[in-house]
Chain A
Amino acid sequence: MRLSPYLAFAKKSFLQKSAYRFNHLMSILNTIIRIFIFWEIYRTLYGGRTEVDGITMSMVTTNFILSLGLEAVFGVDDYYLPNRIRDGSIATELLLPVSFHGRMLAGNLGNALFQLIFHFIPAFAVTVLAIGMEAPASPLVFLAFLFSALLGYGVLFGISFLMQMLSFWLLNVWAIMTIKNVFVNVLSGAMIPLWFMPDWMRGIIRFSPFSSIYFTPVQIYLGQLSGREILFRFATQGFWIAVLLAGGAVLWKKGQRKLVVQGG
């Protein structure tokens, strides 16, 4: 039921994404440059060795291409609600006979699809041709990777969703969003592959929502997890999605009563 309005929202953000072409080209370049920089840093750290603590350089490369590539695709808009509250356009949003959450997700998914086709694929092609990467362990594992990446998106969306709800009270959420992004960047494996974290820390991170975003899919892709473990990771990802969305929904309910429409 009522799917078509959400498809329309997804289509709209897909189309809107193409409005600023130069900016888009630059953002592809940005992803490629970041992958190269991280690759170069780790190549230097590896100092010609092919393996450190059982982690090959090629696994590290694969980690960066996949997690930074996925990061470009995921790109959840953290300021979707905060911006609308700050400039008062939340008022016109609430006039639409659709679920605000559904609309938010649909808009982000439209964006993600655009990024997948026009950002991930070119950036992926360039970097793989230049520095190469591991092939997926098996076709079945590749499918599990895709599913896990989808759940990873759900977790990232859930974190952002929950944090955005704070803007009902705070009005300006820039600082806490920045802190959140530091957590996501460091603990999801996008900056430092989690293999290199101390053991005690990895034990904690494993159960945090952050490692569910990029590192779990990467581990599955590389065939590091057994079938049983993969199922356990899916469950962990699903658990976090449920908890984060439920928390966000509670705050949304409370926030709506507190809503202040700014600017006339």
Chain B
Amino acid sequence: MSFIEVSNITKSFRVSRRSAGIPGMLANMVRPKFEERKAVKDVSFSIEKGEMVGFIGPNGAGKSTTIKMLAGILCPDKGSIVVNGYVPYRQRKAYVAGIGVVFGQKSQLQWDLPVIDSFELLKAIYRIPEEKYRKNLDRFLDMLDMGSFVNQPVRQLSLGQRMRADIVAALLHSPQIVFFDEPTIGVDVLGKETIREFIRELNAQDEVTMLFTTHDMQDIEKTCKRLIIIDKGAKMYDGTLQEIREKYGTSRQLVVEFGEEAVVPPMENVVITDIEDRKKSFVFDNAKVNINELMSHLLSRYNIRDLTVTEPEIESIIQRMYNGEV
């Protein structure tokens, strides 16, 4: 039994279907129409203790619904979830005491009160001992650079500040498992980097098990080894980033800068294009062309000043996966 065990969960919602405008409204009043929409279809996966897993998919793929079921907020229609021995939606109170959840789009903080008051409230709710609370708070405030705004009311914070405060709020009780639902949404580049750094450190030092959803592939690349891709409610992929690259991203680009004008005759399986006067690009399939041979071939024949190998962006691979091309 894994730490987090999700088996064949399904969840559907009733969505109101109504045509536009006043005729639509009138028709809807007389006879409302609803449609079952399956948000999550037969999804299974398991996660081990201390793992950090990225959960990605386009808008409406069912990521948030899955997170909410894992967090004990929603109840799956079918299938089962067991996390650390608990069934989340049945043993909610006992279960949530040991988890932390950050919703990028929903704040847990008290709108009208200073951030620190919200933290104090959480301290009471989770019954965090004074010493542990101090230790965690000092550490997190320092890591996320929050000293300057903990005494401000939440309604006066910037989005990036609020997100950091929300992350601390979810972690004060030292949960063993943390779910992040789009923790970097709407945050600027610098802020995102701070958050990623924080997440990495927490996973490495405290062995916190983490699952997080995002749209930003950079988030995943910089934090997770493992990746679950979900689209239209169904799981499409579960494995390491490395495997995706190896399996789907075998094309490589070699950019060569020559010391002088060079004429390179066509090669089998390699697409050669000119970039600048003395710069050429060689695109090939890593599985078909040996990169070492290609490089030594070029190095032995030409005067070469510089060369770089690039892999395709993970983003473009995943884009192709959504489109069903790979």
Residue positions of A touching B, CB distance < 8 A: 2, 4-5, 7-9, 12, 15-16, 19, 88-92, 94-99, 256-257, 259-261, 263-264
Q: Beyond A8-B125, A95-B101: 13 further Cβ-contacts under 8 Å?
A: A12-B110, A15-B113, A91-B73, A91-B103, A92-B103, A94-B73, A96-B96, A97-B125, A98-B125, A259-B73, A259-B75, A260-B13, A261-B73
- In contact, B93 and A88 (Cβ under 8 angstroms): no
Q: Whole-angstrom distance between the alpha carbons of A222 and B125 in the complex?
A: 42
Considering the complex, which residues of chain B in the window 115-172 have a beta carbon less than 8 Å from any beta carbon of chain A?
117, 120-121, 124-127
Report how many residues on chain B are interfacial, defined by Cβ distance under 8 Å: 31
- State whether the Cβ of B112 lies closer than 8 Å to any Cβ in chain A: yes
B180 to chain A, nearest CB (A): 13
- In contact, A257 and B121 (Cβ under 8 angstroms): no
A114 to chain B, nearest CB (A): 14
Q: Whole-angstrom distance between the alpha carbons of A166 and B127 in the complex?
A: 32
Q: CB-nearest residue of chain A relative to B125? A: A5
Q: Which stretch of B64-72, B222-230, B244-252, B318-326 is in the interface?
A: B64-72
Q: CB-nearest residue of chain A relative to B118? A: A12
Given A19-B112, A261-B68, A96-B101 contact (CB < 8 Å): no
Contact with A along B12-33 (1 / 0, CB 8 A): 0100000000000000000000
Residues of A within 8 A of B289 (CB): none
Given A4-B124, A8-B124, A92-B108 contact (CB < 8 Å): yes
Given A8-B121, A12-B121, A92-B107, A97-B64 contact (CB < 8 Å): no
Considering the complex, which residues of chain B in the window 65-90 have a beta carbon less than 8 Å from any beta carbon of chain A?
68, 71-75, 89
- State whether the Cβ of B288 lies closer than 8 Å to any Cβ in chain A: no
Residues of B within 8 A of A4 (CB): 124, 127
Residues of B within 8 A of A259 (CB): 73-75
**Sorted from nearest, which 4 A-B pairs have the closest CB atoms?**
A8-B124, A97-B97, A5-B125, A92-B108
B213 to chain A, nearest CB (A): 11
Residues of B within 8 A of A12 (CB): 110, 113, 117, 121
Q: Whole-angstrom distance between the alpha carbons of A15 and B153 in the complex?
A: 13
Q: CB-nearest residue of chain B relative to A103? A: B125
Given A16-B112, A264-B64, A264-B105, A96-B125 contact (CB < 8 Å): yes
Q: Whole-angstrom distance between the alpha carbons of A91 and B166 in the complex?
A: 14
Residues of B within 8 A of A15 (CB): 113, 117
Residues of A within 8 A of B13 (CB): 260
- State whether the Cβ of B297 lies closer than 8 Å to any Cβ in chain A: no
Q: CB-nearest residue of chain B relative to A92? A: B108
Residues of B within 8 A of A8 (CB): 120-121, 124-125
- In contact, B73 and A16 (Cβ under 8 angstroms): no
- State whether the Cβ of B271 lies closer than 8 Å to any Cβ in chain A: no
Q: Whole-angstrom distance between the alpha carbons of A98 and B132 in the complex?
A: 20
Can you give 18 A-B contacts (C-beta < 8 A)? A5-B124, A8-B121, A9-B125, A16-B110, A16-B112, A16-B113, A19-B112, A88-B106, A91-B71, A92-B103, A94-B92, A95-B101, A97-B96, A97-B126, A259-B73, A259-B74, A259-B75, A261-B74
Residues of B within 8 A of A91 (CB): 68, 71, 73, 103, 106
Residues of B within 8 A of A260 (CB): 13
Q: Whole-angstrom distance between the alpha carbons of A24 and B120 in the complex?
A: 25
A184 to chain B, nearest CB (A): 28
Residues of A within 8 A of B73 (CB): 90-91, 94-95, 259, 261
- State whether the Cβ of B94 lies closer than 8 Å to any Cβ in chain A: yes
- In contact, A257 and B93 (Cβ under 8 angstroms): no
